[in-house]
Structure 1
């Protein structure tokens, strides 16, 4: 089974004769008649219509120039008044331009920048503000009205002026706010400086943590080295003690042989090709060379 799309157009019809309204506007569906050629049917939509304003350069209360872009939704509630005053949607858009833009300018110039930009006093998170000093600065501007209330104020100020045109202003919103080029440079410079301040803080904290880790490592290394040296000295001491004990035992069993081995060690340490010794033949040092001449 195939479905065909159905276009439903909700309209209001106002009859005119030679350009002048005839009868009441036809607000409800039904069968109506007009005199051909003499009378004409004028159609007006009952749906919500759109107004999209052009961005305007406006100074705030604290003398900061910004671009403000707004949009609105409106509808025709009195077709007769609408036809007699603005005639059609093009004329209505021109009236909306004048009235809404004037209200926007009045409200934006009456509040500081922070009221127009922000709608709550939500505290910026650590990603947006990472330094205590910067966070403290962000708290200096307290939002008392906010962006949404300003938008409602614009609507409330503009609506009474629209009634004589048979128009109801349903809603007004601030679509976009942007700094002018001169202010952008200042704001971006301040943002860069704050980011650098935050980065420097993190860098300083990182360097401090690195030095702490390095200090802990050096301390642990010295402790391990000290303990290893202590253990090595204990092992060496035990080995020397055992060697001394072995030497003593050997000396006790054969003192002459022990003396002979000790003397040979001394010969090895003192006599080489580069050394010259002048000793008496009666020296105790050469006693083991006596009586061995010519013998193998």
Structure 2
């Protein structure tokens, strides 16, 4: 009889234990998560470390939140800058739940937190951007004004000539293209956005890590103005190259004409010298030939003259002159 009662109690205890475990008295926290335990709507504990924990079945409710860094992509919004120029700004931010109990009291769900945070970040972005000029929003440094002039390598030019050419072209291109200097820059403005947004997020148990502009683009009316300015800048650069090329062309043509005249002058001088020497040699040969046989020399010179002049005469009215003695006189020029 006692043995039978003992087995009954053992069975009841086992059934109770099994029923207890079936009601789920334990819960597991995985790595990268944290939980808030509530009892009748009141927070009784928070757990941020991974492990196995106990709860009262059917009474304690466990709400799990991520402990990792989360991202929030905001909607693109149209924001005016300090110059009242509208730009389209699309931001993304990183954040995490720092105090799960405070987060639960503020939102309870991640979707509600996303909606509220999106409003706060959009407001902070608008506040900072509207107080700064366009150049501060789209640029991070003054490197565009501080960069060195581009080096140009010209075929056939020495190193010194190439440097001088690069300096001349650079002075023409950069004469009126100095951009507005940046005092803060885009990075500094994002830090200001974080500071403005943090003031409104501390009460929610949220740690905002950063806000980054994912995309900044001009509005439609500003885009056309920017394109026109870019076209004007490129036209200025093209005109600078054309002007420099025309100047170089004039220099080269002037040098070419000068070299041409120098070559012609030298050639003319050499030709005259050669002519003078040839005439002197011819005169010496003629004199030597005349001294050897004056009569034959006179005859030969007359024949040469006839060969040059007679084809040009259409008619001859008199042959009695001494010029024609070797043609018509039987005794020649005697």
In the alignment, which residue of structure 2 is the partner of 1:10? 32
- CA root-mean-square deviation: 2.1
Contact 1:14/1:21 (8 A) holds in 2: no
- 1:234-264 deviation line (CA, Å, top 9, x unaligned): 1121111101110011011111111011111
From 202, 223, 242, the equivalent of 2:281 is 242
- 1:121-169 deviation line (CA, Å, top 9, x unaligned): 2243456996233234x2xx33222211111111011112112211110
In the alignment, which residue of structure 2 is the partner of 1:28? 49
In the alignment, which residue of structure 1 is the partner of 2:174? 132
Shift of 1:42: 1.4
Does 2:45 correspond to 1:45?
Answer: no
TM-score, length basis structure 2: 0.79
- Equivalence map 1:100-115=2 (5 Å): 100-115=121-136
* C-alpha distance in structure 2 between counterparts of 1:226 and 1:158, whole Å: 84
Gap regions ≥5 residues in structure 1: 1-7
Q: Secondary structure at the match of 1:277?
A: coil
In the alignment, which residue of structure 1 is the partner of 2:325? 287
Contact 1:129/1:135 (8 A) holds in 2: no
Mark the CA change 1:142 to 1:273 in structure 2 (over 3 Å): closer, same or farther: closer
In the alignment, which residue of structure 1 is the partner of 2:91? 70
- 1:29-85 deviation line (CA, Å, top 9, x unaligned): 332112333333211111100011111100011111011111111000111111121
Q: Secondary structure at the match of 2:45?
A: coil
Contact 1:60/1:111 (8 A) holds in 2: yes
Contact 2:33/2:65 (8 A) holds in 1: yes
- Equivalence map 1:1-296=2 (5 Å): 9-18=31-40, 20-124=41-145, 125=147, 126=149, 131-136=173-178, 138=179, 141-272=180-311, 275-281=314-320, 283-288=321-326, 289-291=328-330
Shift of 1:197: 1.2
* C-alpha distance in structure 1 between counterparts of 2:37 and 2:174, whole Å: 69
Moved more, 8-17 or 118-127: 118-127
Contact 1:134/1:194 (8 A) holds in 2: no
* C-alpha distance in structure 1 between counterparts of 2:119 and 2:139, whole Å: 26
Mark the CA change 1:22 to 1:186 in structure 2 (over 3 Å): closer, same or farther: closer
* C-alpha distance in structure 1 between counterparts of 2:124 and 2:208, whole Å: 13
Mark the CA change 1:158 to 1:280 in structure 2 (over 3 Å): closer, same or farther: closer
